[in-house]
Amino acid sequence: MEYTFDFNAVSLAPLLKGLWVSLELTVAANVIGIVFGFGLALLIMSPFKLVRLPFMLFVEFFRCTPAIVQIVWIFYCVPMLFDVFLDPITMGVLALGLNLMAFNAEAYRASIQAVPKEQIDAGIALGLTPVQRILHIVFPTAFRASVPVLLTNGIVIFQQSALVAIVAIQDLMYQGKSLATETYRPIETFTVVALIYFAVSFPVTQIVGLLERRRQLLVS
């Protein structure tokens, strides 16, 4: 191969500016996903079919369509259908946050259902009310069990956030694309972009592994 690599053309400043936007999107989406995901989990587990069904449909919609379609749909269809015009970042957060909410709700649901029935029995035997049992027994146990999956979903959303470049949000991917076009150095630019995504994600995946190993020790 006759290609000479030249990384000098890749200036880090715009890429780091883009990374900052990507991180903002990720953090905001995770706040939505972690907080409202739990509420959504309780709703899809409701004993009342009329409550349960619409929210299950919501979850399945986000789980069964590509994230890029969701982003494009929210960017172009929501303003037209509902006549609301939000700034691009808010729209991006909304698209990614709703998606993450659906996936986190599923993670919460699985952990809530994995809380042993005996724990609930013990709560009843101790006279705790249903709300106290959810607050002091089910939620803490389920939340701890969910943490590895929540972190994994969170890091997936960081990577999915690259998709918002398509609707002109100036995230890391968008800055990388501009830089590649300006410098005619796509190979170098996208290599650096990939390394930046990796540098942020890799520590988190290691933490997930650590948490899972520690949890196995605790359970056994």
- Single-letter residue type at 160: Q
| Residues 93 and 72: beta-carbon distance below 8 Å | no
- DSSP-derived 3-state class of residue 129: coil
Q: Least distance in Å: CB of 123 to another protein?
A: 8
Token pair in block for residue 166:
């398509």
Residues lying near another protein in the complex (CB under 8 A) = 116, 118-119, 121-122, 124-128, 132, 136-137, 140-141, 144, 218-219
Nearer to another protein, 87 or 118 (CB): 118
Nearer to another protein, 10 or 150 (CB): 150
Q: Least distance in Å: CB of 113 to another protein?
A: 17
Q: Least distance in Å: CB of 71 to another protein?
A: 37
Q: Least distance in Å: CB of 121 to another protein?
A: 6
Nearer to another protein, 11 or 132 (CB): 132
| Residues 92 and 28: beta-carbon distance below 8 Å | no
Distance CA 31, CA 129 (A): 29
Nearer to another protein, 13 or 131 (CB): 131
| Residues 9 and 186: beta-carbon distance below 8 Å | no
Nearer to another protein, 47 or 116 (CB): 116
Separation of CA 53 from chain center: 23
Q: Least distance in Å: CB of 44 to another protein?
A: 24
**What sign for the dihedral angle of Cα 66, 25, 84, 58?**
positive
